Structure 1
């Protein structure tokens, strides 16, 4: 999907303190025998700060960096997440309306797995009219009784963060050139773990165990059509990236950096290095290994980090790739137009 006239006006990030992998090992939370192989160095841990508060803090920073936009200028608010946000029957986007934007802005929660912000970009590009502005928020705090952030996904640790993107149709420091999201319904069961859909896990107090679900799916690879599904994921992702690059009128050689989800390095290597002829150094994996998989916001927090460290310059293109439950595959291309002053002045998180 081409996205003419769609700009990233500002980014806000609230990243809580990092707990190092050495601390997690010393406390018996992370297996010492996995440190060398998986190369993880830490996870951002928010403690008891609710996810919507993380999102609110990020949103406030995005407005502070926007060069004069007001929350009351918004035409749309989309809130993306992957994990529980607050009391059952309560919606997190209303927390931002209460404390930031007011009640006259159309607001909705998007629960579309780790690709939620890519879906939000698609919706926003279609929704906004000339002169319009949207706030996209992604926030998760995984530090709950049903998640062991250090072990729930083998080779990956779960981090917490709040992320906010202000999208405008007039101007911004980066142009969204193209974004695409596709779903492979035949891969819907990849993450279901083979357990009943009802009653839902949370109502039974059943912990989130992606490691166990992945083991269960690997068994299905040996006894069914799992291999066909995995081939379909690879083929579809290659086609999706090719289409997105063509819509952005560039090739992979024109891309300065690539952002993947902050998952295990061998998954990134398989899905990135092998599929697209990249190296891990071309990606943001090393940064992600130090803060953890943040749910919906990995690629966009990594973008903020690249800007802050001078790794991107005006004219550079960045490719953002997403893999999520569904199975959902996502891709977007950004072109950096200029470097916002807050990065040059060291005004970081």
Structure 2
């Protein structure tokens, strides 16, 4: 396997802070209820003139600065998103244009909240053939697809983008030691946006019934995570040749704070510190993993040699894991 290193990280969240009080009114709940159910106190929502590509490009610039590289150094850009600017072209094409990365191939990956790990794997494969540098971005603007009256979803989601720059030349920097991807299509109905694609184009009936909005079976998602994640993580660590005691940091998808506490307890990682950003940013979809990785890295949480377990899980249903040696 190509020796792929993380050369830099970056993140961007919109300026607008949306409190629990703001989302609670239309959803028929209050701040205390949201905090108790989710651990989220606020989130960021994009401005009216911001699309997913704008957030993604800002995070990409931050990651390039961290890596000491320019857009001209990139050979590939992969954007993980389930809220693209448009159905076509890929959001990555807009990001390429905004960054001025004229020599980079650019494409999207949609694995919903696991998307950044899937994109990381895709970029690793490209670098194995071409060498050079890759920019992997997770970005989502969920505020545009939320039903503000649906308390199951509107309280959870925020907008944001996170990014990592990868290099295939070896040498110094955190090493991506292993990646594993899983999909469970028989559970695809647990998280979805019913309309807007070729199965159900948007028309007046769709709009009347609100089928253009994001929907989630919260109980089904919790059951999926509880039933699958501990087993998958145990198998992943075994395949990597490490033990739970070896993991120093756990960087999970920021789904829900209460869920994360339950997940972390069930993983039995006795030495690991779990990192969170959801208190202030909410669930930012594919962006949550790279935002949280960047936050911890910039806070100096990682030391050389630390093993970091990154875990994405969500719609598809899907799960993706990456083991990084800092």
Match of 1:98 in 2: 97
SS at match of 2:230: helix
Match of 2:79 in 1: 79
Residue 24 in structure 1 maps to residue 22 in structure 2: yes
How far apart in 2 are the matches of 1:260 and 1:191?
18
Pairing partner for 2:309 from 305, 319, 322: 319
**Does 318-327 or 20-29 show the bigger shift?**
20-29
- Which of the two has greater strand per residue? 2
Distance 1:157 1:42 in 2: 9
C-alpha change, 1:26 and 1:249, in structure 2 (3 Å) is closer
Aligned mates of 1:131, 1:89 — CA distance in 2: 28
Name 1:15's counterpart in structure 2: 13
Question: Which residue number corresponds to residue 46 of structure 2?
Answer: 46
Deviation, 1:119, is: 1.0
> Quick one: which of 264, 268, 274 aligns to 1:277?
268
Q: Which 5+ residue runs of structure 2 have no aligned equivalent? A: none
1:115 corresponds in structure 2 to: 114
Change in 2 beyond 3 A, CA 1:96/1:191: closer
Partners of 1:254 and 1:335 in 2: CA distance: 11
Distance of 1:150 and 1:166 partners within structure 2: 38
- Find the aligned partners of 2:243 and 2:318 in 1 and give their Cα distance: 23
Deviation at 1:270, TM superposition (A): 3.2
Aligned to 2:215: 210
Counterpart-to-counterpart distance in 2, 1:187 and 1:103: 39
The size of the alignment, in residue pairs, is: 315
2: CA distance, partners of 1:330 / 1:104: 29
Asked if the contact 1:156/1:293 (under 8 Å) is kept, the reply is no
- What secondary structure sits across from 2:137 in the alignment? strand
Cα distance between partner residues in 1 of 2:154 and 2:264:
17
- Structure 1 gaps of 5+ residues are 219-226, 337-349
Pairing 1:62–2:34 present: no
Worse-matched range after superposition: 186-195 or 292-301: 186-195
CA contact (8 A) 2:256 2:278 kept: no
Q: Please point out which of 270, 273, 292 is paired with 1:302.
A: 292
Show the counterpart of 1:177: 177
TM-score in terms of structure 2 length: 0.83
Secondary structure in 1 matching 2:249: strand
TM-score (norm 1): 0.78
